[in-house]
Structure 1
Amino acid sequence: MNHSSPEENDHVLLRTEGRAAYITLNRPKALNALTHPMALRIDGALTAWADDPRVETVVIEGAGERGLCAGGDVRDIHHDAKTGGAASADFWRDEYRLNARIARYSKPYVALMDGIVMGGGVGVSAHGSVRIVTERSRVAMPETGIGFVPDVGGTYLLALAPGELGTHLALTGAAVGAADALLCGLADHFVPSAALPALARELAADPVHTVLERYVEQPPPGELPAAREWIDRCYTAESAEEIVARLHATDAPAAKRAAATLLTKSPTAVKVTLAALRRARRLGPLERVLEQEYRVSLAALSSPDLVEGIRAQVIDKDRDPQWSPGTFEAVGPADVERFFAPLGDRELRLAETAPSTEVAW
């Protein structure tokens, strides 16, 4: 049940017009960062609209000029991790259920992924059936930079990306633009940012496929195709240490920059992310991967790196986290395996569902 206050309800604006229903994430000063009440409000709306014959299409967008959503509210997570609370575990349980609902939604779910779309913002958009990026889009799963591991189904999405592109994005936290998001399977269509208001309005009157035909264009070229050779070669290595060594040994300046970036991230988070991605490839449907991510997220909550990473990047903003352990070599197999340990009666158990089917437009 959603026990949101009226003010919190203002953080997710809901409306219907014609054949469409609209979700607007409305915390522009916080770059629409997602909170637990927001996730519950979105989930409740999707539940109601699924059985409403007047609603044929659902649209999600972000208020303000900066982007759809920068992710979960990590200040709340920082407080919870420091005090040993249960709020983050409860939030993630409902958020991951929402991610699964979006992926299996029975009606077209149109995500306007304009501007910054990171972390939890990817979770409420990139599992949708119609994912639109623009020339302003910057899509990323930057969790290793705060001592965390990609969640909200991020390891599922990135594990499915061509070759080792997803591994590169997950470990480095690099943000991609429109063309590279399309290449990696994080989006479906490119539409110029200035056209999004008209596109959203027209969805109230016309079916999705009709509206898309009017607006979809070719995106500007991306950066990843030129990097595929060294990304695929370097990131197939068995360990984070070997990945960094291969990147350093590569002539491409971008590869050396990637190596330098990896050495700034939480060594534990990088190693756990690498293991989570490779396990995700074998787990099957999104629900199984979300269940694994829940285990990993709860383990991260009791890890010193999560508190320290959020402190350095968000609270104090000194950008100088002191990771513990501080090197890849100091993170052993048992340290990684701890993140995947069963949770007993705290496990997240998502209902088995049939594989996604094509949504009728």
Structure 2
Amino acid sequence: MGPETIGPETSNHEDVLVERRGRLGHIVLNRPKAINALTHGMVKTIAATLERWEHDDSVSTVLITGAGERGLCAGGDIVAIYTDAKAGGNDSARFWADEYALNAHIARYSKPYVAVMDGVVLGGGVGVSAHGSVRVVTERSRVGMPETGIGFVPDVGGTFLLSRAPGELGTHLGLTAGPVTGADAIAIGLADHFVPSEALAGLAIALETRDVAEAIAAVATAAPVSALLEQRHWIDDCYASDDATEIVERLSASPVEAARAAASAILAKSPTAVSVTLESLRRARALGTLEEVLDQEFRVSVRFARGTELVEGVRAQVIDKDRTPHWSPPALADVSRSAIEAYFAGLDGSDPPLRELGLSSMTAEQDRRTP
């Protein structure tokens, strides 16, 4: 769904188009060749726009979509993060601090925030959509947190969302890094409404003059059956452990072919990233607010930016594209408990946690969902 350029407010920030038409404020991520991957500048533009519209009585609803036909957002700018990680990770830390603050703001936004999760919605794309109050998916949606495949961990509040999915479905998605359909996204709590992609343009027009509930009801249809939810019996059983090695052993021994395929998928990922992701999910489940989880994710992300796994994973998958990452250590059994726990320790004065940036003092409203 492309942007329109009519109405009393239209602003072009190159990578983000900001428009106001009628009662609607419309944010369009505008890097279609990169599937609208987020840069630091884009995050700042979105944050400033939301702040302005939250205090503008003429704006009743905010809509976020992606330019082009491929998807809302493929995540953060991985090449930029890779380049910065090789130089020490300082720029990435600043980017994540602003990005995670944006994710928290979206979650507690005082006006309906409608996210159209059409096409590819990965990583940072989940961060700017799945924390919203009205989350729309389509038959083309492919939603996921692919971080373990590049030697990283789910962030942008992803561990908050996945840890609260039914049973162990979120653990399965976090460790295997695979995307799910729109129907699956609704079943696990990442989305709310299923709207055929052909109806999206009409929905955007309706939101200019109509209340969100009315506009959504006019185009939403029943979601297809979730194939992922139907697999919960073996997923809950195999992922019940807090030890990644034991999880893989259970998956490998399962009579279910999909379980054995999941084991193979996990074994191809960074053992460190898999182990820390599992620990992140377990800790996130015990934390009370999104802000607390984002604070935890920030500490973990900064440490991955200063380690070897993220650089090696992006090199293998994106830079050299040889698809043969050399993980260190190379096996799950070689990742020690002390190594895992080190990722969660407090940062020193040069890298203040998000609470020192003001994030954890914000009030989250995680149960707010209009309609």
TM-score range, shorter chain: over 0.9
SS of residue paired to 2:354: coil
Say if 1:256 and 1:75 are closer, same or farther in 2 by CA, change over 3 A: same
Q: Structure 2 CA distance, aligned partners of 1:293 and 1:8?
A: 32
Task: Give, in whole Å, the separation in 2 of the partners of 1:87 and 1:358.
Answer: 33
Q: Which runs of 5+ in 1 are unaligned?
A: 1-6
CA pair 358-247 structure 1, distance change in 2 beyond 3 A: closer
Preserved CA contact (<8 Å) 1:28 1:64: yes
The change in CA–CA distance for 1:264 and 1:202 in structure 2 (over 3 A counts) is: same
Q: CA deviation at 1:356?
A: 4.1
What's the % identity of the aligned pairs?
A: 58
After superposing the two structures, state which structure 1 stretch, 259-268 or 339-348, moved more: 339-348
Instruction: Please give the residue correspondences for 1:189-228 in structure 2 after superposition, counting only pairs within 5 Å.
Output: 189-228=193-232
**What is the deviation of 1:114?**
0.1
Q: 1:246 to 1:126 in 2, by over 3 A?
A: same
**Gaps spanning 5+ residues in structure 2: where?**
1-10
For 1:207 and 1:137, locate their aligned partners in 2 and report how far apart those are by CA, in whole Å: 24
Q: Distance in 2 between matches of 1:356 and 1:278?
A: 19
1:237 lines up with 2:241 in the alignment: yes
Question: Which residue is 2:337 aligned to?
Answer: 333
Provide the rounded CA distance (Å) in 1 between the counterparts of 2:19 and 2:161: 29
TM-score normalised by the chain length of structure 1: 0.96
**Residue identity matched to 1:353:** T
Match of 1:319 in 2: 323
Letter in 2 for 1:137: S
| 1:111-260 alignment runs, 5 A limit | 111-260=115-264
Q: Distance in 1 between matches of 2:337 and 2:304?
A: 16
Q: Counterpart of 1:298?
A: 302
1:94-130 Cα offsets, whole Å, 9 max, x none, are 0000000000000000000000000000000000000
Q: Please state how far the C-alpha of 1:221 moved relative to its aligned partner.
A: 2.1
Residue of structure 2 in register with 1:3 after alignment? none
Offset at residue 320 of structure 1 (A): 1.1
Counterpart Cα distance in 1 of 2:370 and 2:140? 29
Please give the residue correspondences for 1:34-73 in structure 2 after superposition, counting only pairs within 5 Å.
Answer: 34-73=38-77
**Inter-partner Cα distance in structure 2 for 1:83 and 1:225:** 42
339-348 vs 186-195, greater mean Cα deviation: 339-348
**Cα distance in 1, alignment partners of residues 341 and 367 from structure 2:** 34
Paired with 2:242 and 2:194, the residues of 1 have a C-alpha distance of: 35
TM-score (norm 2): 0.94
- Structure 1 CA distance for aligned equivalents of residues 125 and 236 of structure 2: 27
**Residues 31 and 69 in structure 1, CA contact (< 8 A), matched pair in contact too:** yes
1:72 to 1:173, Cα distance in 2 relative to 1, 3 A = same
**1:357, CA displacement in angstroms?**
6.0
Provide Cα deviations, 1:42-84, integer angstroms capped at 9, x if missing partner: 0000000000000000000000010000000010000001111
Two-structure CA RMSD over aligned residues (Å): 1.4
Q: Is 1:106–1:359's contact at 8 Å kept on the other side of the alignment?
A: no
Contact 1:49 1:55 in 2 (8 A): yes
Q: Check the 8 A contact 1:69/1:116 in 2, yes or no.
A: yes
Opposite residue 363 of structure 2, the aligned amino acid is: T
Q: Which of 281, 285, 309 is the equivalent residue of 2:285?
A: 281
Q: Secondary structure at the match of 2:210?
A: coil
- The correspondence for 2:354, drawn from 342, 348, 351, is 348
Q: CA deviation at 1:317?
A: 1.1
Residue among 88, 91, 99 paired with 1:87: 91
Residue identity matched to 1:173 = A
Match of residue 4 from structure 2 = none
Provide the residue aligned with 1:110 in structure 2: 114
Q: Which residue identity lines up with residue 287 of structure 2 in the other structure?
A: L
Q: Which residue of 1 aligns with 2:5?
A: none
- The 2-side partners of 1:206 and 1:31 are apart by 30
